[in-house]
A and B are shown apart, each in its own frame.
Chain A
């Protein structure tokens, strides 16, 4: 229990202060109008209080001029709020190109994290300060919502699809992670901590937890175990089934003439509902893997398939917005102005994963999106 009452929560991301600024703007407008109207009300109620019973004051019909004024002025103010709110929203939901990727799987009632470098965590996520981090999130059961008040950001985590969340932490520290969408009995217990660390501390943390398999290597194992190789080739080069080389974010021609953007959602759907989107020139022979692949394994498989697209280094988030219906907020990002363009001071330390102490399973060259080549 604190002895003082804070008005704003601690701010630990690049966008937090932008949200606060918008908030304070709206608080100011609200305070102004509340004081104005309540002040006028009190003044009228005192000044024009009933002095004689049943008196009949002079009727006033109204005034079109005044009506117009108090329609137009609030509308203009409301539009300023809309524009400001929308601009912050765009920044919040467009993941930058060069972000370090982490997979998140929500589950009643815990958060599971999978780093590209192999580390897995539950209910605690370690991230470096000053790096853009992009979370690709899904859930094994019900809807959850990933909420870090210090980042002023939340995004729902929805079964059957991927949603995205990005931030750049600015202050080392431990910050609350909450589940904000009611998810059952222990909803309020589905929380944890985001641990933001100095880059050197973060490197130490990484090396101290380095003996884990990278998602690409783990994904490759699943690829073998499930027998995908028999049709898609030992290294995904194709066969009876389509190739995975260069697949990610390519335009894929489907039977029936449609084209689809081969993003994560597409790959996931092709594994679970293979007959739904048949690649042109191939037969509808693949069985469904529904029930055989958990959400976590799915992310590992996707990670492996992504690693087979060497031209794709910047992650799916930079793709054009024209994609299938099941797009997510993050997926709708436009390609143009990514806020993380060059000139950013973070560029100097933009590849800590590659620079961290080596680990055995960094075998495949393009194993993760941020690794340099």
Chain B
């Protein structure tokens, strides 16, 4: 933190003011809340539990792969471990992570609304998420599932003896949580923007969530249908996918990837939104090429629906279909490249801070660059034939999902932590943890590119001896990464009670979320904000006032004790 912030340190403890956290107490006030901010915290708690579980699976997998022989667990156990790691991480962490926690918390505040358009549906989304999650956990506890998170037929429909339908049903239920969240966001962004908040004044975080929501409501029903078809075949032997029953196994792959490839963009787009915020705000520059960055999100969402076949270059689909999917896959890479270039250009002549959120933002760009570029390898038909289903693919999507989504999530969590909790996280610990995570991540996944090109297939319980060196490196990296992940859990929880009290605008930024107190009141703003500034229009601290009139003991929170100027900020 800069020393100058110290002088704005509030003299009154934050607890003395009514905010969304202390407005009501008791378990009921949380479980029946309609406040998007409280629902976001419910999500934060629940996805953290799933993330922890998925992480434990990941460490167990890496431990097994320390040696070429399958000597730690049995093959069947290993297969369940990677399946459950994938299912939990994809459906119960990555997909909901940023939208359901940060999006839920911030979208209404960023557009100057009191809540989402459908607060009850928002709560219902969380209950659906929990129902699906608990259903899946029940299936895992009872014996688990071993099909891989991809559920390829006919293995999943006819051959596997594990809890395929129960797990699928869990994902099916959770899918509705996604659909409803997407619907809620779209309606909210369309109808509830504050006066003056035009589309091109929206923070890019909101744009990327808009694009994500489109994918959620258009794509998720397809995975729901696919799971139902799978269940029909498994339970009633209706021939849909299994050729022995008259079905087509490749049809399953088409249906599965028609959702699951766009789902990749559900995971990465919100993170790109976070990174746009981090890069612009922590270099105090308006984003370079705002409209290009905004529309590239929409382009990714649209093109993302047309590339599913690139998962099937070796699945016996026609050579010509492969060519079409390859060329569109290259097309979808362009908007991502545009974003990276624009982020980089934004830094030019900025005032770049080295605070933790910015570190995560920069790590994101570097890692997403490698994750994205290696995606081009996989889109190259003749090369994919070799690296498909090897560790090269595993490394690629971990660079995108962990290097991308997780970095964005952690960056966003640190950035908005003062707003969410009203407390600052400890800066030096956070920087240290970010470095450890970055190093551990690269050590874990970079060797997997090499071992993948050398030919090690994924989902292998035991592997050929010559792959061991690289696997040892990867396992060593995983232990560093795992240690690094413990740090934020510890210091963030610590900071909720012992962290420095956060002012309303600790970073001195112009976004609407910084123009209300930390933590915000239940209705977000004391008065309806009227937006008269562009996105990322930086202003001197004295102009960045809290919107609305606060009680006297709220004033110290305010950066500088100037009364609000009439007409601009006072809605009532």
Contact = CB atoms under 8 A, between A and B. Distances in A.
B382 A84 contact: yes
A26 B376 contact: yes
Contacts of A61: 286, 290
B75 A186 contact: yes
Interface stretch (A43-51, A198-206, A236-244): A43-51
A336 interface: no
A55 B334 contact: no
Contacts of A284: none
A78 B455 contact: no
A187 B155 CA distance: 12
A49 B352 contact: yes
A34 B243 CA distance: 45
Given A48-B349, A49-B354, A67-B292, A163 B380 contact: no
A85 B344 contact: no
Interface stretch (A253-261, A304-312, A325-333): A325-333
B16 interface: no
B127 interface: no
A187 B351 contact: no
A89 B322 contact: yes
Contacts of A56: 284, 351, 538-540
Contact of B365 (A37, A50, A75, A94): A37
A212 interface: no
B464 interface: yes
Interface stretch (A113-121, A147-155, A361-369): A147-155
Contact of A62 (B289, B383, B464, B465): B289
Interface stretch (B118-126, B172-180, B323-331, B409-417): B323-331
Nearest to B79: A185
Nearest to A154: B314
Contacts of A216: none
B455 A82 contact: no
B457 A5 contact: no
Interface stretch (B101-109, B133-141, B225-233, B466-474): B466-474
Contacts of A18: 382
Say which size band chain A's interface belongs to: 35 or more
A54 B509 CA distance: 9
Interface stretch (A98-106, A138-146, A218-226, A342-350): A138-146
A101 B382 CA distance: 23
The A interface is mostly helix, strand or loop, or mixed, namely mixed
A36 to B, nearest CB: 9
B345 interface: yes
A2 B468 CA distance: 8
Nearest to B70: A188
A87 interface: yes
A184 B83 CA distance: 11
A178 B319 contact: no
B128 interface: no
A30 interface: yes
B73 interface: no
A88 interface: yes
Given A57-B350, A154-B389, A329-B317, A33 B454 contact: no
B318 interface: yes
B237 to A, nearest CB: 14
A57 B284 contact: yes
Interface string B1-35: 01111000000000000000000000000000000
Given A89-B385, A178-B455, A30 B347 contact: no
Given A60-B286, A60-B288, A88 B347 contact: no
Nearest to A75: B334
A329 to B, nearest CB: 5
B374 interface: yes
A361 to B, nearest CB: 32
A70 B338 contact: yes
Given A23-B377, A75-B334, A86-B326, A59 B285 contact: yes
Contact of B146 (A41, A62, A91, A185): A185
Interface string A6-17: 111100000000
B567 interface: no
A183 B362 contact: no
B334 A85 contact: no
B469 A5 contact: yes
A196 B340 CA distance: 47
A1 B468 contact: yes
Contact of B470 (A5, A38, A108): A5
A48 B351 contact: yes
Contacts of B342: 62, 67
B373 interface: yes
B285 A26 contact: no
Contact of B4 (A29, A33, A53, A62): A53
A274 interface: no
B476 interface: no
Contact of A5 (B155, B159, B313, B450): B450
Interface string B261-298: 00000000000000000000001111011111000000
B460 interface: yes
A240 B568 CA distance: 92
Contact of A79 (B330, B353, B538): B330
18 contacts: A1-B465, A1-B468, A23-B453, A34-B366, A38-B366, A44-B344, A48-B350, A59-B537, A60-B348, A66-B341, A84-B382, A89-B313, A92-B382, A108-B159, A149-B386, A150-B455, A184-B159, A329-B322
Given A54-B540, A86-B382, 9 more contacts: A30-B374, A41-B362, A49-B354, A50-B353, A59-B285, A78-B331, A142-B154, A182-B147, A329-B322
Interface of A: 1-2, 5-9, 18-19, 22-23, 26, 29-30, 33-34, 37-38, 40-41, 44-45, 48-63, 66-67, 70-71, 74-75, 78-79, 81-82, 84-94, 108, 141-143, 145, 147, 149-150, 152-156, 158-161, 163, 176, 178-189, 327-329, 332-333
